[in-house]
Structure 1
């Protein structure tokens, strides 16, 4: 992503130097920010569209059908698995993963900034989720809960944080210079974690499927926004003409 942005800005600068008499060195970066905003605004619009349908009968029907289908597979073994996955997407789970990631960043990649970035993305997703829950004020499903919950329902905090945090880790895995097979396996594992955390909330009876969809969309918005901002900051630092 970073190299693509750098190449794009370099080509844009060359084009502008040829076409414009008075070249504005900040224009390529402004265009990059505009692209980021378009992606983020598009995601926000999708989230709003979903939110507007929360009280419709059509969405309620789909929520019920999907929930009934998922909980029909309840078994002791699956219940243990999904309780474990929902714990992975909780506060203590993230502390453990961040600690492991910190060690890897310091000992292997020797770049502690990735831990700071991942923590920032997770923090933004968590804080914004709490605000959205209070504003939307949707109650939890009225079915049996296999785990205790205290907050409101929409969007799912587990789904939103999982998409933001593990989604950002997927971006970092793509970015790191490691063996292709290892990279694919790690990205697949992270995608499986995100999906499992989302499904676990439906399986355990504490979220509607639309809560999970809303959380995934909102989390993806933070990933896209933060990735572009982080890369843009680094490009400003690298570019000798700024």
Structure 2
């Protein structure tokens, strides 16, 4: 056992990362399924108690009497039950926080902070895996984030939206994918960071941020949002969320394993994708509040079969793309 670890330390480290990631996701999924509804109910009751307590504070009473317009504005921003209230406030603060994280990451990359040292360390270790048998699996995974496959997914999603007569969903899908892709392209042009030296699949674009990591969150995250919104089962919603997180992490990890990107590139891509995903979700919730989208659609057996057929089509297309375009680049 010790000899195996000494001979393949990178493979062992990668395996441990995958095992720990899946174990953590399974634990979170289990806790959410077991205690999620109870926690949400407790938070709801706590929120009501907190609102009543804050409303009785002398400071809030004076604010209400002295500045009624300001007090009304603040109250509406935290009101529950409509999009322009608490929902929009939470989404806005999330985006501000993500932008701050992205700005901090940019500063670290530009100033060659400790993150760059970590990038080089990880890249050097991943270059040892170039002849490993795990490479084909990660090539297939990384193909799920390629431009041709994402275009196929967007087309199939458009067809599904037309079948269930919910065309406005496409607005959010296009905002998330096109917005994140454009943002990533402009960022690459601005920072012009070179890719790792021992790259496996030759790319002609710059490194920061990772386009595959970006689109994994922007596209698959939005598809998960759609599935969760359409689903009526809390357990199914939790499982969809955990599977999507695992898929996005695997696509991001594939870019590191194949030495297509540095670790910070993938982190930046995840942040950009999340930023545009939140913007798209905000648009969807606004359209829902205006009655443009009906998430309570009852799916027929034929429509459900079309969903599964679309999933199979994506995997077949990914397999073909990987074998015809990606695998030859390894030679």
- In the superposition, the TM-score normalised over structure 1's length comes to 0.77
Question: Which has the higher mean CA deviation after the structures are superposed, 91-100 or 41-50?
Answer: 91-100
Residue 146 of structure 1 and its aligned partner are, at CA, apart by 1.1
Verify the 8 A CA contact 1:145 1:204 in the aligned structure 2. yes
| Residues 124-181 of structure 1: CA deviation (Å, up to 9, x unaligned) | 0001111111112211112x21111011111111111111111122222221125455
Match of residue 47, structure 1, among 102, 107, 126 = 102
SS in 1 for 2:166: coil
Residue 224 of structure 1 and its aligned partner are, at CA, apart by 1.5
Residue 65 of structure 1 and its aligned partner are, at CA, apart by 2.8
Verify the 8 A CA contact 2:180 2:218 in the aligned structure 1. yes
Matched, 1:194 2:266: no
State the distance in 1 between where 2:125 and 2:143 align. Answer: 23
Partner of 2:140: 84
Matched, 1:67 2:123: yes
Q: Aligned-residue CA RMSD in angstroms? A: 3.1
Match of residue 141, structure 1, among 183, 193, 196 = 196
State the distance in 2 between where 1:180 and 1:234 align. Answer: 20
State the distance in 1 between where 2:240 and 2:231 align. Answer: 13
Partner of 1:5: none
Verify the 8 A CA contact 2:126 2:259 in the aligned structure 1. no
Q: Which has the higher contact order (CA 8 A, sep 6+)?
A: 1
Matches within 5 A, 1:142-157: 142=197, 144-157=198-211
Residue 40 of structure 1 and its aligned partner are, at CA, apart by 1.3
Verify the 8 A CA contact 2:126 2:258 in the aligned structure 1. no
SS in 2 for 1:145: coil
Residue 50 of structure 1 and its aligned partner are, at CA, apart by 0.7
- In the superposition, the TM-score normalised over structure 2's length comes to 0.58
Matched, 1:225 2:279: yes
Quickly say closer, same or farther: Cα 1:189–1:74, change in 2 above 3 A. Answer: farther
Match of residue 182, structure 2, among 127, 134, 140 = 127
Aligned residues: 222
Partner of 1:95: 151
State the distance in 2 between where 1:210 and 1:57 align. Answer: 11
Partner of 1:3: none
Partner of 2:214: 160
State the distance in 1 between where 2:177 and 2:200 align. Answer: 26
Quickly say closer, same or farther: Cα 1:176–1:32, change in 2 above 3 A. Answer: closer
5+ residue gaps, structure 2: 1-46, 56-63, 78-83, 293-331
Verify the 8 A CA contact 1:173 1:187 in the aligned structure 2. no
Larger Rg: 2
| Residues 52-86 of structure 1: CA deviation (Å, up to 9, x unaligned) | 01132411221123334444455554211211222
